[in-house]
Chains A and B, each alone.
Chain A
Amino acid sequence: MRSRRADAVLAAFAWAAALGVTVVLALIVFELLRHGAGRLDWAFLTTAPRNAGREGGIGPILASTGLILAVTMAVALPLGLATAVFLTELTRRGGVFGRLVQLSLDGLAAVPSIVFGLFGNAFFCKTLGLGFSILSGGLTLACMVLPILIRTTEEGLRAVPPETRNAASALAYSRSATLWHLLLPAAAPAVIVGLVLGLGRAIAETAALVYTSGYVDRMPESLMDSGRSLSIHIFDLSMNVAGGDATAYATSLTLILVLLTINALASVTARRVLERRLSV
């Protein structure tokens, strides 16, 4: 009898917890819709902000955000894949250099984003002379996203059964062919998960970007221009601009929509990858 009651309590608790989580998300979305939906239209997404963002739209901010993320991914994806391949395929598990790389990745993952911001400012903006620019911001975020991307890719590659490697080896596949045709496609879903997680972290970032990409809200003309990201815009509107709340909510809503779009695109891509591998 006692164990049955314990089961009931456990089940009730689990239900309540799950319900609580759902309610929190629903509340956030509800609040965003209530305050922001009124302002969200095509003009808002395409026009420039006016009057410090109280009026007008977020066109240049969307463009800057897109460019920053593009730089981040263009740098993080090849570096991340190469490092994961190095860790799984080229070093033995437990080797000294492999362990060193793993250790620095763990360290990197634990660094607070404000520290990335200061580092980015010192290294990319000043030492490399890139100044407050989309390029500096993108590179800083790339450093932040790398550990996530490498870890998920590594997991994906390690999950490929050893039989696949043996069979490829016995059929005289070269190492690079095995990697390119068999291992990386098998790890692709994991890579995509890593990308989504990384993009999620990058798009949410304010602290690392304030010092690197800056907060100029004009339409960027090149990667060397300063550009304001969506989250910095939200921060600025709600903290520094009296009467900017409505735009802040609408911008937050946009940010959530962008994230959902990235998620949807990622799962479509993952399915495409799987289908393409089966075609004749």
Chain B
Amino acid sequence: MKCDGGVCIVFDVPFICVENLSVSYASRPALEALSLNVPSCSITAIIGPSGCGKSSLLACLNRLTDDVPGSRVGGRIRIGELEVLDPKTDVLALRRRVGMVFQKPTPFPLSIWKNMALTLAQHGIKDRALVAETIEGALRDVGLWHEVKDRLGTSALALSGGQQQRLCIARAIALKPDVILLDEPCSALDPIASGVVEAHIKELRRRFTVVIVTHNLAQARRVSDLTALLWTTDGVGRLVEHGPTAQLFSGPRHPITSAYLEGRHG
């Protein structure tokens, strides 16, 4: 289901269904037997120590794992009615529906405008009026419009780190995806820029299903509706606990979770 406008979290209607997911790189398992449901128009935080497979999980959701030589993905992922891991699935169509923002801001070495317009053109959006409207809308959504509207023709690389990251979010949401994947989007930013980005991430929930990987427990607590903790056991990442964020933080059921949240682990 898709939401328009108002916040509507229906926890029992999963939008993303991950069943028994396993990932390995060059026959070394990274993630095993992971099942996770993500409801529509919510923010799910994936937390856990480094190397526990958080980013691998994200990369499966838009099949970025296809680009990694030697990677193998097993199990089943559905996003809406789309079978993500089915080899017959059109990967470009999938990635249009599932946007992604990386840890390090990744603006292309082009002007701010071209960063947006080239991406839209890739998806056949070339009508001048529509392009202009979409770009302005997306830049407003991330609070960047009034900061850059007079210098859209200048290099995106001249923006500050926080602005670059918001441009990347704008570039992703301009394609009107259903899902936005955020891979530690604030960890390369200073606290103030990080706060600004975080505020806009919270807003995204109104229109998108958001999955965010973060190292920052406080951030997970602030922005997310649901939290999933991944943990490495026997050298393989597994899901330890998953539930509403408030519940998980106030009353973790699993001993690893409580130890991790108290800072005794990881």
In the complex, what distance in Å separates the CA atom of A64 from the CA atom of B108? 42
In the complex, what distance in Å separates the CA atom of A166 from the CA atom of B91? 14
User: Does the CB pair A280–B153 fall under 8 Å?
Assistant: yes
**A172-B106 in contact given A278-B153, A280-B153 (Cβ < 8 Å):** no
User: Within residues 158 to 181 of chain A, which ones have a CB less than 8 A from any CB in chain B?
Assistant: 163-174, 177, 181
In the complex, what distance in Å separates the CA atom of A185 from the CA atom of B114? 13
User: Within residues 26 to 72 of chain A, which ones have a CB less than 8 A from any CB in chain B?
Assistant: none
Cβ contacts under 8 Å, A182 to chain B: 108-109
A277: interface (CB < 8 Å): yes
B119: interface (CB < 8 Å): yes
User: Does the CB pair B67–A277 fall under 8 Å?
Assistant: no
Cβ contacts under 8 Å, B118 to chain A: 181
Cβ contacts under 8 Å, B100 to chain A: 170-171
A186: interface (CB < 8 Å): yes
Cβ contacts under 8 Å, A168 to chain B: 108
**A163-B113 in contact given A171-B119, A174-B122 (Cβ < 8 Å):** no
**1/0 per residue B97-125: CB within 8 Å of A?**
00110101010111101100011001100
Cβ contacts under 8 Å, B175 to chain A: 171-172
Cβ contacts under 8 Å, B153 to chain A: 278-280
- Give which listed residue, B69, B96, B104, contacts A92 with CB less than 8 A: B69
Cβ contacts under 8 Å, B114 to chain A: 277-280
**A170-B62 in contact given A280-B111, A280-B113 (Cβ < 8 Å):** yes
Cβ contacts under 8 Å, B99 to chain A: 170-171
**1/0 per residue A250-280: CB within 8 Å of B?**
0000000000000000000000000001111
Q: How far is the CB of B197 from chain A (nearest CB, A)?
A: 17
Binding site for B on A (CB under 8 A): 92, 163-174, 177, 181-182, 185-186, 277-280
Interface residues of B, CB < 8 Å — how many? Answer: 33
User: Does the CB pair A177–B108 fall under 8 Å?
Assistant: no
Cβ contacts under 8 Å, B69 to chain A: 92
Cβ contacts under 8 Å, B154 to chain A: 278
6 cross-chain pairs, A with B, having the tightest CB-CB distances, nearest first: A167-B106, A172-B95, A170-B100, A280-B153, A172-B92, A163-B106
In the complex, what distance in Å separates the CA atom of A177 from the CA atom of B92? 12
User: Does the CB pair B111–A277 fall under 8 Å?
Assistant: yes
In the complex, what distance in Å separates the CA atom of A278 from the CA atom of B118? 12
Q: How far is the CB of B70 from chain A (nearest CB, A)?
A: 10
CB closest chain-B residue, reference A173? B122
**A169-B67 in contact given A277-B109, A280-B111 (Cβ < 8 Å):** yes
B258: interface (CB < 8 Å): no
Q: How far is the CB of A270 from chain B (nearest CB, A)?
A: 14
B210: interface (CB < 8 Å): no
Q: How far is the CB of A204 from chain B (nearest CB, A)?
A: 34
CB closest chain-B residue, reference A160? B109
With A170-B102, A171-B99, A172-B93 given, name 19 new contacts (CB 8 A).
A92-B69, A163-B104, A166-B102, A167-B106, A169-B67, A169-B95, A170-B95, A170-B172, A171-B171, A172-B122, A173-B122, A182-B108, A182-B109, A185-B109, A278-B111, A278-B114, A278-B153, A278-B154, A279-B153
In the complex, what distance in Å separates the CA atom of A182 from the CA atom of B108? 7
Cβ contacts under 8 Å, B168 to chain A: 167
B155: interface (CB < 8 Å): yes
CB closest chain-A residue, reference B120? A171
In the complex, what distance in Å separates the CA atom of A181 from the CA atom of B109? 10
**A172-B96 in contact given A278-B154, A278-B155 (Cβ < 8 Å):** yes
User: Does the CB pair B109–A186 fall under 8 Å?
Assistant: yes
B130: interface (CB < 8 Å): no
Which of B69, B93, B108 has most A Cβ within 10 Å? B108
**A170-B64 in contact given A278-B110, A279-B153 (Cβ < 8 Å):** yes
In the complex, what distance in Å separates the CA atom of A174 from the CA atom of B92? 7
